[in-house]
Amino acid sequence: MMESVLIANRGEIARRIIRTARRLGVRTIAVYSTADEHAPYVREADDSVPIGAPPARESYLNGAKILAAAAATRAAAIHPGYGFLSENAEFAQAVQAAGLLWVGAPPAAIRTMGLKDHAKSLMMRAGVPVTPGYLGEDQSPAGLKREAATLGYPILIKAVAGGGGKGMRRVEAAAQFDAALASCRREAAGAFGEDRVLLEKYIQSPRHLEVQVFGDSHGQIVHLFERDCSLQRRHQKVIEEAPAPGISAAVRTVLCDTAVKAAAAVDYVGAGTVEFIADASHGLKADRLWFMEMNTRLQVEHAVTEAITGQDLVEWQLRIACGERLPHCQEQLQIKGHAMEARLYAENPGTGFLPSTGPLLHLALPPDIRVDSAVTQGDEVTTFYDPMIAKLIVHAASRTAAARQLARACETVEVWPVRTNAAFLARLARHPAFIAADLDTGFIERHADDLIPASEPSPGIIAAAAQALAAPAGADPWQALLGFRSNASPHLQVGVAIGNHSYTVAIDPRRRRAPIVLVGGEQVLFDRGEAWSFGIPSSVHGSGAESDGDGSVHAPMPGRIVSISAHQGQQVKKGQPLLILEAMKMELTLQAPCAGLVSTLVAAAGDQVTEGALLVRVAKES
């Protein structure tokens, strides 16, 4: 085993690697931007090195600085985690050229599979079925639009580089194509430094299946079964599970054997994921599976595979990087039970899932399941990086039990003042169609009305909170029960938890109880993953609404103005796009809140704006 490893990443995956490395006796070295100086992973590593300013291009995407840190700390190896430089062939090559072990795929495999058009061409030559589409060299908007018409709408525009749903747009009709292509290219260029795209025919009722593969330097390749990642929003995975529901043994064999065949075509070494799209309109069929892409790294959702196989995939990575053989042969790997993972994000479903930023003054995550978290209480969610707070991972004997356990876990999440998607996740896990495994990538969009939490508290919550406000923290529990009567309605009874500055309240006739916690002068009620503040609000909040009632449009969060599609004096319709704001790895299109005249335009393309800054004002039509 190597003596030390530098982790060229941050947040949750850095903590995950540190955990395994420590168990194996490997010294860990963290690198950090100035925004992450006090992050948990930096504190937990044996050594740490600052590498620059918060923007990723000045720190985590700066290979020279990372190699310098490795030299200064005498690191024996570099683990790239996922994202950032994990699929950068030039960086992998530079690591090996410096005499360090690269805990990742061979540079040649990264290069081949990193460009989706090249990867698909290779897979076709290897006899692996691929999604129908256009992989040609003509990148002109007119040429691409012609090819889209030939394929027939709906289609997907996808960046040839990168992954994670970045640089991907679904287009329903020709009228949407030009704007979608421009947006896709902007996002791809910003995320991957490459704006070339390919086109794919959009599969109706698509299921997103992927297979975990591992190869060693001795020519062995195995799979660790499949995962289902069909629950997605904006092409971003939300809940992943393993194994895939509704798959037969025969289809699993075809799927996993095809994944191994794809990995063998590039002499694969290390952890990788081969991703497939399946037409699930008539169930999962062996002849309705198509290769999409291969991620030449560990995946965010690797934890569900660990849960059903009992294997530590980071340990596998470290051992294979040291030249060892795979820890197990294919016949020794088995599926045990069912696992699910939910991605807990700092975002507000009530405002269209806008990312939420700010300090985590209160953070309580489920204590009885596996939680891979990026932060602890007191940390801050910034605009510089992905807004994931934690991954909530459950494992049970059956899929139904796992879904039930995941829903309970999401319902116990307590975060303030940053907003989260916990209630949304809980509703997903409890939805009858999810329980019935009636899944495809359009699930969330189709059931949005059932899944998005209410923007206002229910009458029961308001009544319970009003009662709680009469019982200040630290009060005598008997005196605190102001207005209490032994025969009072159960939903109005209040109890006090002594010593932790919190109350519990019953908010329905079944005596369902919820805590109210004092956070920064506010009393916050947590119920089924939702958070409601009562009393005098603090001065610090996550992202708010983007528009006032007077026709003004404010920045919902800090970010950079990408483009402006309106000009002062222009007549606009309600809902018409005005400008595009880029923040936290995503583009937000801000629209006219009403019909009228653009009377004020204070933003310009390229501007960095702060949360709440006035950008545009539309004078309403009288």
**How do residues 104-154 score in pLDDT, each as one tens digit?**
999 999 999 988 778 888 998 988 999 888 888 899 999 999 999 999 999
Q: What is the residue whose two structure tokens read 């809140």? A: 593
Average pLDDT along the chain: 88
CA dihedral sign, ordered 200, 201, 205, 209: negative
Catalytic-residue membership of 528: no
The two three-digit tokens of residue 207, written as one number: 């299921």
pLDDT of residue 217: 97
CB 389 within 8 A of CB 617: no
For 440-493, write each residue's pLDDT tens digit. Answer: 999 999 999 999 987 788 888 887 777 766 655 444 433 343 333 223 333 333
Backbone angles phi, psi at 45, to 5 degrees: -70, 155
Question: C-alpha angle 191/197/199, rounded to 5°?
Answer: 135
The C-alpha torsion from 334 through 335 and 339 to 345, rounded to 10°, is 50
Neighbours of 141 (CB within 10 A): 12
Q: How confident is the model at residue 5 (pLDDT cuts 50, 70, 90)?
A: very high
Kindly give, in sequence order, each residue whose CB lies less than 8 Å from that of residue 5, ignoring residues fewer than 6 positions away.
17, 21, 26, 27, 28, 29, 75, 76, 77, 78, 79, 103, 318
Work out the burial of residue 125: count CB atoms within 10 Å of its CB; fewer than 13 is exposed, 13-18 middle, 19 or more buried: exposed
pLDDT of residue 59: 97
pLDDT of residue 567: 87
- Dist. CA 192–CA 184, nearest whole Å: 12
Catalytic site residue from 297, 399, 419, 430: 297
Kindly give, in sequence order, each residue whose CB lies less than 8 Å from that of residue 495, ignoring residues fewer than 6 positions away.
477, 481, 503, 504, 505, 506, 513
For 143-199, write each residue's pLDDT tens digit. Answer: 999 999 999 999 999 998 866 677 889 999 999 999 999 999 988 887 778 888 999
CA dihedral sign, ordered 252, 256, 259, 261: negative
Q: Residue 195 carries which side chain, given as an amino acid letter?
A: D
The two three-digit tokens of residue 265, written as one number: 């075509």
- Dist. CA 97–CA 103, nearest whole Å: 14
The two three-digit tokens of residue 423, written as one number: 């209630």
Phi-psi category of residue 445: left, alpha or beta, with phi > 0 → left and psi -120 to 50 → alpha: alpha
pLDDT of residue 289: 94
The two three-digit tokens of residue 470, written as one number: 């009469």
- Dist. CA 397–CA 128, nearest whole Å: 34
pLDDT at 58 over 80: yes
pLDDT of residue 481: 35
pLDDT of residue 160: 86
- Dist. CA 315–CA 306, nearest whole Å: 11
Distances (CA, A) of 256 to 287, 330, 516: 14, 11, 48
Quote the strand ranges of 270-366, DSSP E: 270-279, 289-295, 338-345, 347-348, 354-355, 358-359, 362-364
DSSP letter, residue 372? E
Compute the half-sphere exposure of residue 509: CA atoms within 13 Å on the CB side of its CA. Answer: 0
- Dist. CA 31–CA 14, nearest whole Å: 10
pTM over the 0.85 mark: no
Once rounded to an integer, what is the mean pLDDT over residues 434-442?
95
- Dist. CA 200–CA 293, nearest whole Å: 12
CB 169 within 8 A of CB 188: no
CB 105 within 8 A of CB 296: yes
Kindly give, in sequence order, each residue whose CB lies less than 8 Å from that of residue 50, ignoring residues fewer than 6 positions away.
31, 32, 33, 34, 37
- Dist. CA 18–CA 146, nearest whole Å: 50
- Dist. CA 370–CA 312, nearest whole Å: 14
- Dist. CA 389–CA 414, nearest whole Å: 12
- Dist. CA 81–CA 314, nearest whole Å: 9
Higher pLDDT, 236 or 24: 24
Higher pLDDT, 600 or 397: 397
